[in-house]
Protein backbone atom coordinates (compact mmCIF):
# COMPACT_ATOMS: atom_id res chain seq x y z
CA UNK A 1 0.00 0.00 0.00
CA UNK A 2 1.27 3.45 -0.89
CA UNK A 3 1.57 5.81 2.07
CA UNK A 4 -0.18 9.20 2.12
CA UNK A 5 3.23 10.85 2.40
CA UNK A 6 4.34 9.23 -0.84
CA UNK A 7 1.17 10.37 -2.61
CA UNK A 8 1.80 13.93 -1.38
CA UNK A 9 5.35 13.79 -2.71
CA UNK A 10 4.02 12.59 -6.06
CA UNK A 11 1.54 15.49 -6.21
CA UNK A 12 4.34 17.93 -5.40
CA UNK A 13 6.55 16.47 -8.11
CA UNK A 14 3.78 16.72 -10.69
CA UNK A 15 3.47 20.43 -9.85
CA UNK A 16 7.12 20.97 -10.87
CA UNK A 17 8.20 21.93 -14.36
CA UNK A 18 9.64 19.20 -16.58
CA UNK A 19 13.10 20.68 -16.09
CA UNK A 20 12.71 20.56 -12.31
CA UNK A 21 11.37 17.00 -12.45
CA UNK A 22 14.37 15.90 -14.52
CA UNK A 23 16.77 17.60 -12.12
CA UNK A 24 15.09 15.87 -9.17
CA UNK A 25 15.16 12.49 -10.88
CA UNK A 26 18.84 12.85 -11.76
CA UNK A 27 19.62 13.92 -8.21
CA UNK A 28 17.81 10.90 -6.75
CA UNK A 29 19.56 8.52 -9.15
CA UNK A 30 22.94 10.07 -8.30
CA UNK A 31 22.29 9.71 -4.56
CA UNK A 32 21.23 6.07 -4.93
CA UNK A 33 24.32 5.26 -6.98
CA UNK A 34 26.59 7.00 -4.48
CA UNK A 35 24.95 5.19 -1.56
CA UNK A 36 25.36 1.82 -3.29
CA UNK A 37 28.99 2.60 -4.14
CA UNK A 38 29.76 3.55 -0.54
CA UNK A 39 27.75 0.66 0.89
CA UNK A 40 30.02 -1.76 -0.97
CA UNK A 41 33.02 -0.14 0.71
CA UNK A 42 31.47 -0.39 4.19
CA UNK A 43 30.91 -4.15 4.31
CA UNK A 44 33.84 -4.72 6.68
CA UNK A 45 33.64 -1.48 8.62
CA UNK A 46 31.73 -1.73 11.92
CA UNK A 47 32.69 1.54 13.62
CA UNK A 48 30.31 4.42 12.70
CA UNK A 49 33.16 6.94 12.78
CA UNK A 50 35.16 4.80 10.34
CA UNK A 51 32.08 4.50 8.13
CA UNK A 52 31.79 8.28 8.05
CA UNK A 53 35.48 8.61 7.19
CA UNK A 54 35.05 6.12 4.34
CA UNK A 55 32.04 8.03 3.02
CA UNK A 56 33.74 11.41 3.19
CA UNK A 57 36.95 10.16 1.60
CA UNK A 58 35.26 8.80 -1.53
CA UNK A 59 36.03 11.06 -4.51
CA UNK A 60 32.55 10.56 -5.97
CA UNK A 61 30.99 11.75 -2.73
CA UNK A 62 33.23 14.80 -2.61
CA UNK A 63 32.37 15.69 -6.22
CA UNK A 64 28.66 15.05 -5.60
CA UNK A 65 28.66 17.18 -2.47
CA UNK A 66 30.38 20.03 -4.27
CA UNK A 67 27.87 19.79 -7.10
CA UNK A 68 24.92 19.80 -4.72
CA UNK A 69 26.38 22.75 -2.81
CA UNK A 70 26.74 24.67 -6.07
CA UNK A 71 23.17 23.91 -7.08
CA UNK A 72 21.77 25.15 -3.78
CA UNK A 73 24.05 28.18 -3.44
CA UNK A 74 21.47 30.43 -5.08
CA UNK A 75 18.87 29.54 -2.43
CA UNK A 76 21.28 30.62 0.30
CA UNK A 77 21.63 34.02 -1.36
CA UNK A 78 17.88 34.53 -1.41
**Selection from 58, 56, 36 nearest residue 48 by Cα:** 56
49 assigned to some structural domain: yes
Structural domain boundaries enclosing 48: 18-77
1 assigned to some structural domain: no
13 assigned to some structural domain: no
9 assigned to some structural domain: no
DSSP string, 2-69: --HHHHHHHHHHHTS-HHHHHHHHHHHHHHHHHHHHHHHHTTT---HHHHHHHHHH-HHHHHHHHHHH
Give residue 77's pLDDT band: very low, low, confident or very high (50, 70, 90). low
12 assigned to some structural domain: no
The predicted structure's pLDDT at residue 53: 72
Domains contained in the chain, number:
1
61 assigned to some structural domain: yes
pLDDT tens digits, one per residue of 20-64: 999 999 999 988 888 776 666 655 556 677 767 766 676 665 555
11 assigned to some structural domain: no
Q: Is the pLDDT confidence value at 6 over 60?
A: yes
**Selection from 16, 11, 58 nearest residue 36 by Cα:** 58
Amino acid sequence: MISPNLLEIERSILALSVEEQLWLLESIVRQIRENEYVKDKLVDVNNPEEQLEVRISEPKIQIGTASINDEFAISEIL
